[in-house]
Chains A and B, each alone.
Chain A
Amino acid sequence: MQTKKIGTINEQKRRDTITAWLFLAPTLISFGAFVVFPVFFSAFLSFTQWDFISGISSIKFVGIRNFVKMFQDEEVINALKNTFIYTVTIVPISLCVSLVVAYMLNDKVHFKKTIRMMFFIPYISNTVALATVFKGLFRSDGPINMVLRDLGVSELPQWFSDPNLAKLPIIILAIWTGIGYQMLIYLAALQDVPTELYEAAEIDGASPLKRFLKVTIPLISPSTFYLLVVRTIAVFKLFSSVKIMSGSSSERISTTLVLEIYRAAFGEYEFGYASAMSWVLFAIILMVTLVQMWGQKKWVHY
């Protein structure tokens, strides 16, 4: 009797395990094929020189030469610099604007839903189309320059060919499209702030600004942290908008690491070198994540 019971329990366990792995099978097969294998294979390739076209036999092991080359490659250094500039502009500005917008649209206005929708639309729109629109807006004879001309600017900027300006349309586009999502996250966070806290602060005589700084900001810091991580990583993966906006005229002024990987691999067929760059991208994202995980403990107030 006793053993039979144990037997059925074991049988049950075994069947559960089989079912679980069956349920997981499509995911795990896909994970193996599109994540695990590519990660290891690109790690291997990063130490080789290979043009892909001439077949596997032509793979040549070159040690760390690709990595050495990378740090002497002006375009890669440029891409890293650009990414840094993109990060320190796009992330803080778009987070601040989103927070203010969310704060205003939480319950301070009429027609909340309609206005929220306006801020949300760019986020769901096709990035390639939006970048195309920006390419038109910032053309030398485009609407932005027309407005500047009407404002009396005599020397109209050449947005895409001026090295000092070429990044600006890309930065503005990234800020613009990110706001919709960040606003949503902030709205959800703001709704979770208990109203008693505001009332208590008001009774204590705190001004609206002080209430915002001392009550709202600390209480929504988990969302800020989350958005900080997500947005920083998104900036490191910037591709579509840069590819569309940096046409032949601007060459590589505004390039990013992903764009350089794309160019090295599919433009020049340097698969080994491109793989080495991929690993640098991966390492940077990993580092950002770890630093931010560590930082979370320091300044997020729950």
Chain B
Amino acid sequence: MRKQSRITKILATVIMLGVGILFITPLLWMISSSLKMNREVFAVEFHWIPEVIQWKNYKTVLTSKSIPMMTMFWNSFYLAVVDILGQVLFCSLAAYAFAIIPFKGKDFVFLLLLAATMIPGQATMIPKFMMFKWMGLYNTHWSLILPGWLSIGSIFLLRQFNMKIPRDLVEAARVDGASHFQIWLRIMIPLTKTALTSIAILAFINSWDNFLGPLIYLTKKELFTVSLGVNMYSAGADADRMHLVMTASTLSILPILLFFAICQKQFVEGIATSGVKG
């Protein structure tokens, strides 16, 4: 009985490992193609390993003048960081107010926000576009930064974490004369680090993945994000240069994978507790 279950476990491992490898095959194909010459990518005789590994594809993509990938990387990167900082700051302040401070109208405001989660961002993109045009924020990164700071999901998540903090801790600090701002900064922020990390990770993924926003609000190449850069490779005349298209795709996924490799545990916990991408 025992022996049999050990064999089943090994068998299951082999099967799942096989399925897992099959699962990431598209990505392996992408990486393999990114290191090939163009004619090799769709060659009749398919090889996983390129004839000669073409590292220069990466140099070509990163130094191309017509599609300035390095600038786009920088844009995506700093937009993600600004998005994270804004969300952590504003959502945790709002969550603190909802969880800790008693005030009139709290339930109403909370319900209002809750109901608004049903409104898809895509349904409001037209008025937002017009607003940005009128305010002169069209074709600036502000059009991505400002709406990105509002995350009702993050507020809910943080509120729940804040409510788990023992009330006595807050009360004691209040008696000692600490203001709500001090309590938020000195007690809440350190004690809800896990939740804040979750929010940060999700914000990073969403910001890096955003395509519709930059597509609508940005037309200047020097403002483009990585998603738009890959889109340029994918859609433009460059589609005939499949090796470079795959290089650009690989490059766009790389930062997220690196980030994931470094803080895997936080990633998994963060995504399990907070929302869904998109």
Contact = CB atoms under 8 A, between A and B. Distances in A.
A126 B256 contact: yes
Interface stretch (B55-63, B127-135, B191-199): B127-135
Nearest to A279: B123
A108 to B, nearest CB: 5
Interface in B199-253: 205, 208-209, 211-212, 215-216, 226-227, 230-231, 233-235, 239, 242, 245-246, 248-250, 252-253
Size class of the contact patch on chain B: 35 or more
A115 B122 CA distance: 35
A224 to B, nearest CB: 15
Contacts of A49: none
A108 B12 contact: yes
Given A42-B127, A128-B252, A129-B253, A233 B113 contact: no
Contacts of A120: 268
Contacts of B128: 34, 38
Query: Which bracket fits the contact residues of A?
Result: 35 or more
Interface stretch (A82-90, A132-140, A156-164): A132-140
A17 B146 contact: no
Contacts of A184: 268, 271-272
B118 A285 contact: yes
Interface string A224-264: 00000010011011011001100100000000001001100
A23 B94 contact: yes
Summarize B's interface: helix, strand, loop or mixed.
Answer: helix
B116 A31 contact: yes
B126, B131, B150: most-surrounded residue (chain A CB, <10 A): B126
Nearest to B101: A20
A5 to B, nearest CB: 16
B264 A117 contact: yes
A234 B30 CA distance: 26
A124 B256 contact: yes
B97 A104 contact: no
Interface of B: 8-10, 12-13, 15-17, 19-21, 23-24, 26-27, 29-30, 33, 41-42, 44, 46, 89-91, 93-94, 96-98, 101-104, 106, 109, 113, 116, 118-120, 122-131, 146-147, 149-150, 152, 155, 179-181, 184, 205, 208-209, 211-212, 215-216, 226-227, 230-231, 233-235, 239, 242, 245-246, 248-250, 252-253, 256-257, 260, 264, 267-268, 271-272, 275-278
A146 interface: yes
Given A119-B23, A130-B253, 6 more contacts: A13-B102, A16-B101, A27-B91, A33-B131, A128-B211, A176-B23
A285 B29 contact: no
A258 to B, nearest CB: 5
Given A119-B23, A142-B42, A258-B122, A26 B149 contact: yes
